[in-house]
Structure 1
Amino acid sequence: MRRIRSRRLRVTWNIIKICILLLMAGTLGLLAATFYSVSKVLPTHEDIDAWVPKEATLIYSSDGALLAQVYEENREPVPITEIPKQLQDATIAIEDSRFYMHSGIDFRGILRALVENVRSGRVVQGGSTLTQQLARNIYLSHRRTVSRKLQEILLAREIERRLSKEEILERYLNQVYYGSGAYGVKAAARTYFGKPPSKLTLAECALIAGLPKKPSGWSPYDDKEAAIRRRNVVLTRMAELGYITEEEAAKAKTEEVRLVGIQYGRARVKRAPHFVDYVLKQLVDKWGPDEVYRGGLRVETTLNLQMQEAAEKALIREVQRARREGKKVGQGAVVAVDPHTGHIKVMVGSLDYRDPKGGMYNRAAQGRGRQPGSAFKPFVYTAAIDNGYTPNTILQDTPISFPDGDKVWAPKNLDGKFRGPVTMRQAVEQSMNIPAIRMLQMVGVDKVIAYAQRMGIRSPLERNLSLAIGTSEVTPLELASAYGCFATGGLHAKPIAIVRVIGRNDRVMEENRPSLTRAIPYETAKVMADILRGVVTRGTGRRAHVIPGACGKTGTSQDLRDAWFVGFTKDLSAAVWVGNDDYTPMGPSTFGGSTCAPVWVGLMQTALPIIARHQRAQPKADIARREAQERQVTTPEERQRIRQEIEQNTVFRVVCLESEQLAVRQCPRRKRVGFPRGFEPTETCVLHGTGADDVGVQEAPVASDSERPSGHEPMPLDSGGAASHPASPVRPDQESGPTAHGNRASSGAAGGAASGSPAGASARIEEVTICTSSNKRANEYCPEVEVRKMPESQIPGVCTLHGASAGADGGT
């Protein structure tokens, strides 16, 4: 019995050994076959340099005009002996510090990256060596599969076996993509700095070396500040590894970035160059540079060329007029969006794209934006209207002040005057600062941030009371998109630049359809549209009244550094900005109403007839369906759901003021700002610490009506004018009831609007701005005005005492 059992055990063990040997043999055979197949596809040295441009990508406007023809820049390989040692060192320092110590695969680097990624809870480091990147960029696809990764590893070892370190580095520097259509260091040096690689400074070498990891996001043409931050990270790393001294790094960090002017590959941009840049960045981000610059794509975009040219001409005309009047206006931008689809119809990023002093920079959509001034106030009042206040709510325009460290912040109106009790409608029309700040206090800073971001603002918004008068930077594209909510009855359409991308063999690679969401209730949007209509008919935006149905808001930042007009009709929303890149004041009387509104009018006079022609060609059923969707009355349950979504979709993070990434404890200057959920920063500050010291991922809920964010909203000092509570904050879906502050009154006592309709829209008594000198209806040049109520039949004619020579707009 024992012999039989022993025999069975020997047979079983032999079978197991045979299986193990077969498995090992199969694995070794598979590895050998893979290694053999990889080694066979390794090109020769001549093949590496033999790349040539493929088919050009064509970019078209919505009306079929060719905007640009884009193809890869001819690569001019440069020997390693002509590439500065500092550029070589910078590349190795930031991409592969153990380049000269490994044989293609850096297991220590892979382990270090794995530990950092586990510690941070997200991918913050990669473990690929320069050799692996060379294999991936030139010979393999970018698909993230196990087989591709295995090919990359084996091919990296084979490259290391066949080529010297200098040859590998030379090929990497000649083939890698550096953003803005530049392949290789020679193209990058000429694209960004207009010089050969041998003439680059240390700071320029560091900037170029930092680009390959994120070429579209860190290109100085796309985001100059991000490029500078990345350059400084490279310089710090070079100093840590001993390639340069700490003094050399510090000196290079202070060097100004002087760009020569962008030329995407050999892109022949015929029209709308800023928009073309905007589209190219999206294409490269999604499809990669190879597909865009060599793939022969046909790209159908949203831009309307006739509208674009009208905006360009109007902006140049008005800026030149302002300069003739002695105003120091250096730059401008215009952007227009179809509020029903999100289609970007116009994008003007500067006065002259070819201007070497920043003409290529897209001020309409790029970077951190500018302070919107009073153009931000509609978001404050939108939150107020949606939470029970009415256009007739009384607000105090009286002196107010707040402790600000060891100082006192005492905001004022632009003209330095205080008007006492005013209605919300009057405060908006005359662009008063104090009532907006008081309204922000009553509604809550966090709630206003949440509403603004729900409506389309994507830039971070600081949690302080000066938010009410527009001190947080935003872009013109954000404002035009957000104001579109008022035109559509509360629906927000995500901005779209690309309609369709067609590849080889007419294959549709990408198709973008309008994406609309209910941002604010229909009733709230219509009340705000009615208030903003008053800005154009009676307030600071009167120069836009010639456009039928025009609504909008002027904006001017502190010391007249920025001027805005953001306006809309039922079919188009547009924002116009003027200012100086160095933030110098533009001089007296440079207001949004006097300088920007005429640009907006010039655009609309061309755009609206074009839109009308297109609508006549549309099926009437489609138009009726769209209008029915926009006019959908919001139920109380729906309003509550929207408010909950608004509160839940805003997050607050503590960010470093220098890197604009999540702050760590070592960051010397930090601030807490609000972001739309999904747009908050995820990487910790690279300038002052690591993810282990993260303090930036604190999240706070939106403050309730009665809350004050502690430490961020100081209560006003006694200055003779306490903020008033609303006399009758009637919600549009109820006639009367308890308010956020416990008041209860009838709508008639406050002159509120009937349920579901804009306040005062059907009243026979009109509020009219009267010139105090002539007792006639005020024009944009009247220096002293007052608002009076009178029957429509008794409204006087326009004042003739004050004309263009007065030069004062009075709007903010």
Structure 2
Amino acid sequence: MARARSSRSTPTPRSPWRRRLGIFLKVTLALALVAVIGLVTAVYVTRSDLPSFDELKSSPNGQMIRVHAADGTVLVSLGPSYGQWLPYDQIPTVMRDATVAVEDRRFRSHPGVDPIGIARSVQVRYQRGRWVQGGSTITQQLARTIFLSSQKKFGRKFREWILALALERKFSKDQILELYLNKVYYGGGAYGIDAAARKFFGHGADHLSLAEAAVIAGLVKAPSNYSPTADVDAAKGRAGVVIEQMVKAGVISQGEADAAEVSQVRLAPEAKQNSARYFTDWALPQLDTLIDEQQAPLEVWTTLDLSMQRAADTAIRQNVPAGAQGALVSLDRDGAVRAMVGGTDYVSSIYNRATQAVRQPGSAFKLFVYLAALEAGHKPEDTVVDEPVTIDGWSPRNDSRRNSGSVTLRTAFAYSLNTVAAKLGQEVGFQTVADMARRFGITTPVNTHPSMVLGTSDVRLIDMTRAFASVAANGVAIAPYAITRVTANGQTIYSHEVDRSHVLVAPYVAAQMTDLLQTAVNTGTGRQAQIGRPVAGKTGTTSSAKDGWFLGFSSGLTTGVWMGKDNARPIPGLHGGTAPARAFAAFMKPATANRPIEQFETQVTLPDMELEPDQESYYGQPDNGLFVDEDGNPVAQPDQREPAARPLPDDTGDEQAPDAAAPAAAPAPDRQELNQDWLNRVTGRDNGPPRDRHDVPPTRPLPRDVPRDAPRYPDERPYQ
């Protein structure tokens, strides 16, 4: 009996796993209790620090930026736009219901954070392998809008939860929804439903229709993707989703949804934009590197000259070939961007072809070939033999398909002889030419194949314009800039300083290059860029007339023009010396009208007269049709006319053959030499009034049957 009682009183040993599980549960419970206490403490501490409802109503979100032209005119106002604050009872019921249905259906029941929504977003993340749903409540979005950034980090998300729980403890659901609908971002710079309604529909938000409310409610998820101004179809499609959610939530009937007719909603017309937006779109992102201010309203003062901008816009529109695009950049002597046109119509295409597009420059790239040659010791008067040449299996030819023997560098540059450029590139080294291009600000990759001397590397217009501006500045580096100063709350927080300390080439090299560039304008391929005062510049045309360039400078202003199609298709009749040169002249005449005439250090010198083939080399006859093979050699066309006996000016940058469709040139009168007196008059050296582009030497009259203002080739419009 005693033995049996003893056996019953002995405790059974506990399993070690049960003991460990018990400890784990106790520790977990303790940690959970501490976490809950910490969370509650954090929520109530945050609640006590929150601003009052009235303070939150008056605090703006986002940074206002006003951009000024050089004369102080406001170019554009960017940043947040706020409409009238609507109290909760003045917000249309359809707007409140649409927002809750699509953004947070359990808004009225959760405490600020929705565990069900979080679990659903995690499940979708697991199923699809990426985050598709965020699980954020309206209260969380409000906390993020007012107090936080949009960075997707756990620390930011945890603070968002704390703030959302605190907001729910301090404000009612109606107050939170009122704050949300008046402060959340709806795209297009519009904050709040009233600003959004005025922007997209042209009226206030106090009388929104169901369809309009659905459009606005649908914008919160992705304002840039669903904005009616960016994609009308996407905005209306998203509004249809909102209405479906409203039906599922039971706030509207299927009949009401069918009657909404989202597809018929009328949008307010977008405000008219102009070409100055190309400039502001390029300039404003630079603020991120210039200043640190992210909150205070900013006044940004820029270099843009509105009169020059209008002239640039007109010059491009009036001269660009039909179906093509055009771009223009003009820099002042210190690098200030005075005009920028990135396309023919900003509304239809915001793509900035002046700063973003990369295209082959053709013969305009010879600037770097000759700079390298001049720096290596060559002079404009040096002679070189124009003869057939083969470099690593590549055999460039001149446009005339003839060679002229011994010529000066001035003559070779004026008539853009490809064989001479190739020989110079081989002499100084193709890597040296590429280094010279990079030295002068070419930011795109430059190849070192022999054909690179003819401009086969893609470049940007603004970079090429910068290079020519540096030559105009006697070899000192010019850096384009747009922003002169920035003020915040009346205090200057940034002021631009021009750096003139970086010398690219010796002044004498820049002066000799200017000498060559003058000759190209006055007697070579760039004659249509004459404006009645000294001009130095260079043309460029790529194979099959896909791109036309003219870049030049006069009176402290350097301007680059490009024309072509975005798809790089050929444009019949396009040459650097035609439409681009005319656009250059059409812009530069009014742009320099109030500037004194400035003479270059070197006077214009005529090229070798024995190479002048006929009148057409001086009077606007363009290069003949443009077809070449992959090596830049001409492809013969049927019925092409007999090539000229001597080289014609070539601004193509690639060896090209005459186009069979091009009409034969009109017979020229007997050849007579130009004289230096005429050059002096054209360049303003005779102390008389500047002559226009039709001022020709008395010894070289136009044919009697050709009116002085008549077009000289098929696609030319009379000069205006």
Confirm or deny: 8 A CA contact 1:486 1:528 kept in the other structure.
Answer: yes
**Equivalence for 2:572:** 587
Cα distance, 1:72 vs structure 2: 2.2
The one-letter code matched in structure 1 to 2:315 is A
**Equivalence for 1:514:** 498
2:346 is equivalent to residue 331 of structure 1? no
Confirm or deny: 8 A CA contact 2:413 2:520 kept in the other structure.
Answer: yes
Confirm or deny: 8 A CA contact 1:489 1:522 kept in the other structure.
Answer: yes
Give CA-to-partner distance per residue, 1:258-291, whole Å, 9 cap, x none.
xxxxx9x998856722112223333467669964
The 5 A counterparts of 1:184-333 are: 184=220, 185-189=222-226, 190-197=228-235, 199=237, 272-283=276-287, 291=295, 295-319=296-320, 322=321, 328-333=322-327
2:340 is equivalent to residue 347 of structure 1? yes
> Which 5+ residue runs of structure 2 have no aligned equivalent?
1-36, 84-94, 104-117, 124-133, 169-175, 192-218, 240-267, 624-643, 649-671, 680-696
The one-letter code matched in structure 1 to 2:700 is V
Measured in 2, the distance between the counterparts of 1:769 and 1:298 equals 60
- CA change 1:441–1:281 in 2 (3 A) is same
Give CA-to-partner distance per residue, 1:66-97, whole Å, 9 cap, x none.
222224256999758658xxxxxxxxxxxxx9
- CA change 1:384–1:509 in 2 (3 A) is same
Confirm or deny: 8 A CA contact 1:67 1:271 kept in the other structure.
Answer: no
Cα distance, 1:458 vs structure 2: 1.9
Measured in 2, the distance between the counterparts of 1:573 and 1:453 equals 19
**Equivalence for 1:566:** 551
Confirm or deny: 8 A CA contact 1:502 1:508 kept in the other structure.
Answer: yes
Measured in 1, the distance between the counterparts of 2:184 and 2:325 equals 37
Confirm or deny: 8 A CA contact 1:778 1:798 kept in the other structure.
Answer: no
Confirm or deny: 8 A CA contact 2:440 2:467 kept in the other structure.
Answer: yes
Measured in 2, the distance between the counterparts of 1:68 and 1:570 equals 30
The 5 A counterparts of 1:375-454 are: 375-391=364-380, 392-400=382-390, 402-403=392-393, 409-454=394-439
**Equivalence for 1:371:** 360
2:71 is equivalent to residue 63 of structure 1? yes
Q: What SS does the corresponding residue of 1:447 show, helix, strand or coil?
A: helix
**Equivalence for 1:798:** 700
The one-letter code matched in structure 2 to 1:567 is G
Measured in 1, the distance between the counterparts of 2:120 and 2:581 equals 58
Give CA-to-partner distance per residue, 1:733-791, whole Å, 9 cap, x none.
xxxxxxxxxxxxxxxxxxxxxxxx96xx598x8634765456x9832238856699998
Cα distance, 1:585 vs structure 2: 0.5
Q: What SS does the corresponding residue of 1:491 show, helix, strand or coil?
A: coil
Cα distance, 1:586 vs structure 2: 0.5
Cα distance, 1:471 vs structure 2: 1.9
Measured in 2, the distance between the counterparts of 1:31 and 1:386 equals 72
Q: Which of 545, 551, 554 is the equivalent residue of 2:530?
A: 545
The 5 A counterparts of 1:614-629 are: none
**Equivalence for 1:138:** 145
The 5 A counterparts of 1:700-719 are: none
The one-letter code matched in structure 1 to 2:370 is Y
Cα distance, 1:480 vs structure 2: 1.3
- CA change 1:762–1:329 in 2 (3 A) is closer
Confirm or deny: 8 A CA contact 2:43 2:166 kept in the other structure.
Answer: no
2:583 is equivalent to residue 599 of structure 1? yes
Measured in 2, the distance between the counterparts of 1:181 and 1:566 equals 41
Cα distance, 1:317 vs structure 2: 1.7
Confirm or deny: 8 A CA contact 2:46 2:166 kept in the other structure.
Answer: no
> Which 5+ residue runs of structure 1 have no aligned equivalent?
1-28, 84-96, 103-127, 202-262, 323-327, 404-408, 616-626, 632-756
Confirm or deny: 8 A CA contact 1:594 1:809 kept in the other structure.
Answer: no
Confirm or deny: 8 A CA contact 1:69 1:267 kept in the other structure.
Answer: no
Measured in 2, the distance between the counterparts of 1:274 and 1:58 equals 16
Which one has a bigger Cα radius of gyration?
A: 2
Give CA-to-partner distance per residue, 1:344-400, whole Å, 9 cap, x none.
00001111222x3x2x221111x2422111111101211221122232241534253
Confirm or deny: 8 A CA contact 2:142 2:184 kept in the other structure.
Answer: no
Confirm or deny: 8 A CA contact 1:67 1:270 kept in the other structure.
Answer: no
Q: What SS does the corresponding residue of 1:518 show, helix, strand or coil?
A: coil
Q: Which of 472, 475, 499 is the equivalent residue of 1:490?
A: 475
Q: What SS does the corresponding residue of 2:233 show, helix, strand or coil?
A: coil
The one-letter code matched in structure 2 to 1:380 is V
- CA change 1:545–1:266 in 2 (3 A) is closer
The one-letter code matched in structure 2 to 1:343 is A
Cα distance, 1:138 vs structure 2: 3.3
Cα distance, 1:61 vs structure 2: 1.2
Q: What SS does the corresponding residue of 1:493 show, helix, strand or coil?
A: coil
The 5 A counterparts of 1:778-789 are: 778-781=618-621, 784=644
2:458 is equivalent to residue 473 of structure 1? yes
Q: When the two structures are superposed, what TM-score results if normalisation uses the length of structure 2?
A: 0.59
The 5 A counterparts of 1:627-642 are: none
Measured in 2, the distance between the counterparts of 1:447 and 1:548 equals 34
Measured in 1, the distance between the counterparts of 2:407 and 2:451 equals 20
Cα distance, 1:59 vs structure 2: 1.8
**Equivalence for 2:713:** 807
Q: What SS does the corresponding residue of 1:345 show, helix, strand or coil?
A: strand
**Equivalence for 1:90:** none
The one-letter code matched in structure 2 to 1:275 is F
Cα distance, 1:298 vs structure 2: 1.8
Q: When the two structures are superposed, what TM-score results if normalisation uses the length of structure 1?
A: 0.53
- Aligned-pair Cα RMSD in Å: 5.3
- CA change 1:329–1:500 in 2 (3 A) is same
Cα distance, 1:527 vs structure 2: 0.8
Give CA-to-partner distance per residue, 1:9-52, whole Å, 9 cap, x none.
xxxxxxxxxxxxxxxxxxxx999987765465578999999986
Identity %: 26
- CA change 1:771–1:426 in 2 (3 A) is closer
Measured in 1, the distance between the counterparts of 2:570 and 2:340 equals 25
Measured in 1, the distance between the counterparts of 2:678 and 2:539 equals 28
Measured in 2, the distance between the counterparts of 1:181 and 1:419 equals 67
Confirm or deny: 8 A CA contact 2:548 2:563 kept in the other structure.
Answer: yes
- CA change 1:790–1:347 in 2 (3 A) is closer
Confirm or deny: 8 A CA contact 1:780 1:808 kept in the other structure.
Answer: no
The one-letter code matched in structure 2 to 1:138 is T
* Count, aligned residues: 515
2:517 is equivalent to residue 532 of structure 1? yes
Confirm or deny: 8 A CA contact 1:61 1:300 kept in the other structure.
Answer: yes
Measured in 1, the distance between the counterparts of 2:607 and 2:396 equals 31
- CA change 1:488–1:413 in 2 (3 A) is same
- CA change 1:47–1:411 in 2 (3 A) is farther
**Equivalence for 2:608:** 767
Measured in 2, the distance between the counterparts of 1:490 and 1:99 equals 65
The one-letter code matched in structure 1 to 2:588 is M
Measured in 1, the distance between the counterparts of 2:365 and 2:711 equals 30
- CA change 1:778–1:770 in 2 (3 A) is farther
Measured in 2, the distance between the counterparts of 1:513 and 1:303 equals 17
Measured in 1, the distance between the counterparts of 2:64 and 2:119 equals 39
Cα distance, 1:338 vs structure 2: 0.7
- CA change 1:196–1:285 in 2 (3 A) is farther
